[in-house]
Structure 1
Amino acid sequence: MSKKVKKYTFRKFINDAHLWLGIGSGIILFLVCLSGTVLTFEEEIKDLFVKDFVVADATGNTLSMEQLSESLAAEGIVSTITIPESTKEALKFSVKTSSKERRGTTYFVNPFSGEYQKEQKSSLEGFFLTMFKMHRWLLMDTEIGRPIVGVATIIFILLAISGIVLWFPKKLKWKNFKPGFKIKFKANWKRINHDLHNTLGFYACIFLVIMSLTGLFWSFEWYRDAGSAVLGTKVFGNRGGGPKFESAVKPNASIKSFEEILYIASAELAYKGETNVAVPVQENDVYTITKTNTSRFSPVITDKLVLDRDGTIIHKELFSSKPLNVQIASLIRPIHMGTIYGSFSKIIYFLACLVATSLPITGTIIWIKKLKIKKSKKKQPVLA
């Protein structure tokens, strides 16, 4: 009796593509997802290993910004000041040793006493830098590692799509869908492993696809250009801080104090939130103020205000007034990193990345199991 040849169906093709794409990219995807999982709560973890700067005498009168800046004069030139929403937290002063210095040194300052402390580096800085390099470049040279990660990310998107197709049962009845929504922990370990791959992959899929689609903006210039064309605005096109503004104040004009500038900014951006102020250093510089509205749906959205030294409003840029395409383009980074909804979205991203890290492992175990079944079937004698 001859053995009946099974027809090669579209579902079988999807299954084979899912299998071999997963096997071929498994190690790379494991490393990228593992490092991404670790990086989700990078700042929170690093803060655990740094001694807090305690603000004492929170009931007293605060010193003026001019006085606080003078207390840091020995360290350099104050370039930016970050004012937290809570008055019980320290101010952050960024200090440069010269105007040519790109990034200054951050100092935590007590607004009541003027005492300050240089920002401490966490003992985990090196570890997280390694995780970042692994996530972006696999610890390779950027010209080599970046495209490898990019190709692996494209493969991951194909794996996610094919995985969803395979998740759907052959017969579309509700009783056939139910097993795909839960993990049968009372079953044997092979079934549990299959459910971990199939069910957890289904729940995490949408978040993993979003991470992958946004992550490709860092991998390929052609993808970034294509995304910019689709959105109708430049993605990552505002890295230089946007248009430059210069002071138009005349020599004899009345110059506002920092507190007066801050009062004007608070009136224009009348809500609670962290305020970052770029302080004029040279005569033609102006105040550039960005403020985060903590009551918004996203804690990473900021509004911008540019004031001349006499208090004249030069430029006002509200996120809500921007066109939708510009809003989306500016949110690609927080969407990819999971900071878009603060701690809530970071927890979801952490769990999704954890699932993504496990998928190459559970998938490989499923593949090995199928290989053993095929080998055992080949050993069985065929009846004539």
Structure 2
Amino acid sequence: MGFVKPIKKKNRFKYWIGRLHLWLGLISGIFVLFLGLTGCILAFQREIEDAIQTYRFTKTQQQPLLAPTQLKAIADKALPKKHAHSITYQPGRSTQVVYYDLLADYYYIVFLNQYTGEVLKVKNMDDDFFRIIIMGHYYLWLPPEIGQPILTTATMIFVFLLISGLVLWWPKSKAARKQRFTVKLKSKWRRLNYDLHNVLGFYMMFIAIFIGLSGMVMGFQWFSKSVYWLSSGGKSMNMFEETYSDTTSLTNINTNVKAADVLWAKFLTDDPKFKGSLDVHIPEDEKGAIEIAKNLDPTTYWKADYRYFDQHTLKEIEVKHMFGKFDNATLADKIIRMNYDIHIGAIAGLPGKIIAFIASLIAASMPVTGVMIWLGRKKKKNLLHPKS
């Protein structure tokens, strides 16, 4: 029986990190590849839609805008027996009346000319290409309670793989560093593949970690609450709750119809030069509150100002959760608010989206180049130690 050289103590840690890196990579690889590719597709969703869907735009005109309830009434005729969730105004763009109901399982958008009321497009979002990709990226086209934990767990493993890969790859000396931080394009394919996996992985690691962690915030409630707890100095997150109007002195059930128009007009009067987006949420019954969301920068979501009003008295209702007035948001609230914009790179504008696209593309390549490294080493091992 031959002598087996024991693993040195100082190398034992790297050995087990390497084992975990290998097997967890093999287990999660297909999901990481999928998330990376779908992430690339979604990176420029807004830009692609604006380029090919002309009905999204209506030129600004020197005439009065139709009120929210007027546009809702027109859209209701196009989609009878469905509840309008919100009416969105933005200068230069067509008004969107969104019909969304999680329980009834429908999602439509009616695009309207906000000056004439002309219906430009009735879109079933279940047939929308980007919506289909989003459902895959979030839920793997499975029920959310099944698909989301699978993909978020794969994302968590990917974050670990990035860190463990850095531990395994980090050069021991200055001489080695000079060689390891560049991709040798003229080298043989095995060496090139190794560099593509490790060097590109290193350069995109920090961006990919932010993308991965932000994905975990959306996918795991416990992780989202932990991030909030850490960033707030130990405070618990106030979860979103529906806001209700006071019905104790109810005199007219239909007052919400005109109340939404009154509030909308007041917002426009208070800021006539407003260039962002304005969402009006008309309540379905006499209990609901009217929500108006004002966003100065519609290319992102985190700075939106959410206001809630009693539909019977027009009195503003203060809320405790993070989706209220932006001025009232704490640092922890803002971190959670900007999470989606971080995830898609929109937090840094178009350059951020380009970086997110490149990082997603490299992330998608990591399982492929990693498997090729593993197969190459396995083949080499079989050649050195052939079976008798």
Q: Do Structure 1 and Structure 2 share a fold, with TM-score over 0.5?
A: yes
What is the identity, as a one-letter code, of the residue corresponding to 1:207? I
CA 1:347–1:266 in 2, change beyond 3 Å: closer, same or farther?
farther
Instruction: Quote the RMSD (CA, aligned, Å).
Output: 4.0
> Structure 1-normalised TM-score?
0.76
Deviation of the 1:186 alpha carbon: 2.1
* Greater displacement, 148-157 / 221-230: 221-230
1:56-81 Cα distance to aligned partner (Å, 9 max, x none)? 6x444234426555555644576632
Amino acid at match of 2:372: I
After superposition, residues 1-384 of structure 1 pair within 5 angstroms as 5=5, 7-8=7-8, 9=11, 10-45=13-48, 50-52=53-55, 55=58, 58-65=60-67, 68=71, 71-72=74-75, 74-75=77-78, 80-84=86-90, 86=91, 88-94=92-98, 105-121=108-124, 125=128, 128-129=131-132, 131-140=133-142, 142=144, 144-171=146-173, 173=174, 175-220=175-220, 222-224=222-224, 226-227=226-227, 229-230=229-230, 232-234=235-237, 237-238=239-240, 240=241, 242-246=242-246, 258=261, 261-264=264-267, 267=270, 272-279=275-282, 282=285, 286-294=289-297, 299-308=301-310, 312-315=315-318, 317-378=324-385
Query: How far apart are 1:302 and its partner, in Å?
Result: 0.5
Secondary structure at 2:5's aligned position in 1?
coil
Q: How far off is 1:187 after superposition?
A: 2.0
Percent of paired sites with the same residue: 28
Extract unaligned runs of 5+ from structure 1: 380-384
Could you tell me which amino acid in structure 1 is paired with residue 211 of structure 2?
M
SS in 2 for 1:305: strand
* Deviation sequence 1:8-55 (CA, Å, 0-9, x none): 413333333322322333233323333333333345445666452553
Moved more, 312-321 or 183-192: 312-321
Distance 1:273 1:103, change over 3 A: farther
> Is contact 1:181–1:199 with CA below 8 Å preserved after alignment?
yes
Q: Provide the aligned length of Structure 1 versus Structure 2.
A: 365
Distance apart, 1:311 and its partner CA: 5.5
Deviation at 1:216, TM superposition (A): 3.0
Partners of 1:32 and 1:53 in 2: CA distance: 28
Contact 1:308–1:314 (8 Å) recurs in 2: yes
Helix, strand or coil at the partner of 1:92: strand
Contact 1:46/1:122 (8 A) holds in 2? no
| Partner SS state of residue 385, structure 2 | helix
State how far apart, in whole Å, the 1-side matches of 2:28 and 2:107 are.
41
Partner SS for 2:96 = strand
**Contact 2:260 2:280 survives alignment (8 Å):** no
In structure 2, C-alpha distance between the alignment counterparts of 1:144 and 1:261, rounded to whole Å: 40
* Structure 2, gaps ≥5 residues long: none
Inter-partner Cα distance in structure 1 for 2:360 and 2:385: 38
Q: What is the distance in 2 between the residues matched to 1:31 and 1:285?
A: 40
Conservation of the 8 A alpha-carbon contact between 1:137 and 1:144: yes
Matched residue of 1:301: which SS?
Answer: coil
> How big is the shift at 1:138?
4.1
- For the residue of structure 1 that corresponds to 2:291, the secondary structure is strand
Q: Which has the larger radius of gyration?
A: 1
Whether the 8 Å CA contact 2:244–2:287 is kept in 1: the answer is: no
Letter in 1 for 2:363: A
Structure with the bigger percentage of helix: 2
- The 3 A distance-change label for structure 1 pair 269 and 201 is farther
Residue 271 of structure 1, CA deviation:
5.2
Q: Secondary structure at the match of 2:55?
A: coil
- State the Cα distance separating 1:193 from its structure 2 match: 1.0
Q: Aligned with 1:277: secondary structure?
A: strand
Question: How far apart, in 2, do the equivalents of 1:351 and 1:200 lie?
Answer: 10
SS in 2 for 1:107: strand
Change beyond 3 A, Cα 1:105–1:31: closer
| Preserved CA contact (<8 Å) 2:141 2:147 | yes
Of 356-365 and 146-155, the range deviating more from structure 2: 146-155
